[in-house]
Each structure stands twice: as C-alpha cells, then as structure tokens.
Structure 1
Amino acid sequence: MTLADLDVFLDRERFTGSRAHNDSELRDVRQLRVRLRGIWESNEDEAVQLINSILRTARALPQLVKHDDWDYHLHATTPEAPLAERMAVEAAMALVDVVRTGELQRLRVCAGNGCRAVVLDSSRNRSRLYCNTGNCANREHVRAYRERRSQPEA
C-alpha cells in the first residue's frame, strides 16, 4: 500500500478527519492492518482483549455525530486524532457488534490459493470463502473447471 493507495481507499470509504499525508501515517496504517488481522485469527476471548486494547489505547468515547451528507452515526475519536487511531477505533467499534452478536465465525481468511486477505462473511448462509480484493473466487472457479475438464469421462 502506498500513500496514493491510502488516499483512494479513504476517499472511497468517505473517511473524514485530519490527515498527515506522510510516511509515518502510512506506516501506522500498515501496522494497524497487522493488528486487526490478529482479530481474524483469534478466538472470542482473544478478540475481545484485542478490541478492548484498541479502544482503551485511543481513549475512545463514543458519541453521535452528523456531518457532510451523513446522518447520525457513531464517532469515538476526535476528527483531529491521528488517522491510524481513528481507523483502529472505527474497526474496533464495528467488531464489538460482531462479538456481541456471536458472529465471530464470520471473520475468515480468504480461501484463495496464496491469498491472505481477510473476509467478513455477510452472506445470509455464511458461505463466503473468498475476498473481494482480487479475483480469488474467479481464479478458483476457473481452476476447478479446468481440473474437471481434464478428467477423463467415466
């Protein structure tokens, strides 16, 4: 991920607040990705400890806010807080609900060959296996199709 990639991501997700636009901020966001990934790979008790650690470190104080063209929603940091801290708290607040509703099993790692992207399975039947960061599902389906086609007919 580059600074330009981060800019595109934040614009797409309509993430607001202050920005440093420097290598230090990018490094902090990269470290946050690693920290959040640990939640995907933990059991419930470990996930709760990691989430609470993020919220405690940021001294999160949830508040209802309304800005730009967004209706009321929760913020738990100030707009001036460092980007990685705001991102960490946003993720932790979302993950609180995942844990509270007993849906931690919806956090997975992509089943694509060689892919380590994380997946939040929001499908009704809890069957999503692949990320949406690449073409993992398509590659896997093509591979399976070619394998079936190469098998001699019985």
Structure 2
Amino acid sequence: MENLALEFMNSQWYDWRGTGRSEDRLDRPGWLEAFLEKWELQAQIPPQPRERTALGELRKAMRAITECASSGREPDHGDIARLNEAMAEVPSRPVLTREEGGWRLESTTGDRGWTAVMGRVAVAYARLLAEEDVRRLKICANEDCRWIFFDESRSRTARWCDDKMCGNLMKVRRFRKRRKEND
C-alpha cells in the first residue's frame, strides 16, 4: 500500500541485513525533494532547523503510536497530542469537481510549507488508523529492519515487510541457528 504517512515514517531507515547502520533520510540530499514531488507537496528545501526538528518529532510520535497499535498497547497521550497539533495546522476547504456521471466534493488545502506538509502527513496517518484495520499496520519482525508496513495479505499474518528480503534473511538465520545448535 502506497501511503504518505508510511513513507514518512520509514524515512528513518535501518539496514535490514543487520550491519547496525541506519540513516535519517530527512537529512539525505534529494530524499525530501523526491518525497515532496511524489506526494505533490510544496515546501522550502532544506527545512529550517526548527522545522527539521518538528519533522523528526512528528515521525517519532507516529512511530511510537504504531508500535503501540501493533502490540495492542495504549499510545502515550503526548504522542496523540503531537499528531493532533500537526493536523490542526492544516486548514482545508471544500472543492467541487465534475466527474463522469456526477459531481464530487472533496477537501483540499492550498497551504505550502513544512507546517502544511506535517499536517498532511498527520492526516494521512490518522486516516490510516481510523479508517483501516489497525491490526494490519505492522512493524517488520526483522529487528534490524523496523520498516513499517500495511499487511495486505488475506490472512493478515505477514511478519516481514518483504518476504524476499527480510523473510528469506530471517529463515536463513533460523536455519543456521538450528544447525549450529544441533552440531
């Protein structure tokens, strides 16, 4: 599932192979530009230091809420408040558009800047929590990866963000561990 909020949360990258490397892609040249372009958002690059700090704080709150949601725990009220603060900064207005066979009314925002970007990310995340089955919002079982994904499997039993990468790696690790124990 392509989702603005998931992509934003995964901007904190961890090497799924277990090297211990990680990267904050919010600081990676070109990543923010590609992110803004993909999701049709507008903000000044690079963000000002206080905006960059706010982006990191929002991501941290969203990841904490996701960890709680995926484990059945109650999220911290401060994290919920941080998400609500970001959403409060996005004024929206209705826009009427003509479609084949009728009309459609949707909400849109014309705001630009990092406050608007954070608000749109927060709204996308809140919609994910409120409108989707939260049990499908998962964190990869590979502890080296920590990628957040939406489980689109029929059985809702996916454990890894990618069966070919993390799934195979974890199977190989379990096999080698059993083999070593049996030697």
TM-score of the two chains, using structure 1 as the length reference? 0.64
1:22 aligns with 2:52: no
1:95 counterpart residue number: 129
In the other structure, the counterpart of 1:58 is 89
- Aligned in 2, Cα 1:10/1:18: closer, same or farther, shift over 3 Å? closer
Structure-to-structure mapping, 1:61-100, within 5 angstroms:
61=92, 63=94, 75-80=107-112, 82=114, 83-98=117-132
Seen in structure 2, the aligned counterparts of structure 1 residues 122 and 51 have a Cα distance that, compared at 3 Å, is: farther
Amino acid at match of 1:119: F
Runs (4+) off by over 4 Å: 49-52, 62-66, 72-76, 148-153
Q: Any unmatched runs of 5+ in structure 2?
A: 1-26, 69-73, 98-103
How many percent identity over aligned positions?
24
SS of alignment partner, residue 119 of structure 1: strand
Question: Is 1:4 paired with 2:30?
Answer: yes
Structure 2 letter corresponding to 1:135: M
Structure of higher RCO (CA pairs closer than 8 Å, 6+ residues apart)? 2
Offset of residue 34 of structure 1: 1.1
TM-score, length of structure 2 as denominator length: 0.56
Match of 2:166 among 114, 136, 139: 136
Q: What is the CA distance between 1:81 and its match in structure 2?
A: 5.0
**In angstroms, what is the RMSD of aligned CA positions?**
3.8
Of 85-94 and 53-62, deviating more is 53-62
* Unaligned 5+ runs, structure 1: 67-71
Q: What corresponds to 2:59 in structure 1?
A: 33
Q: Which has the higher strand share?
A: 2
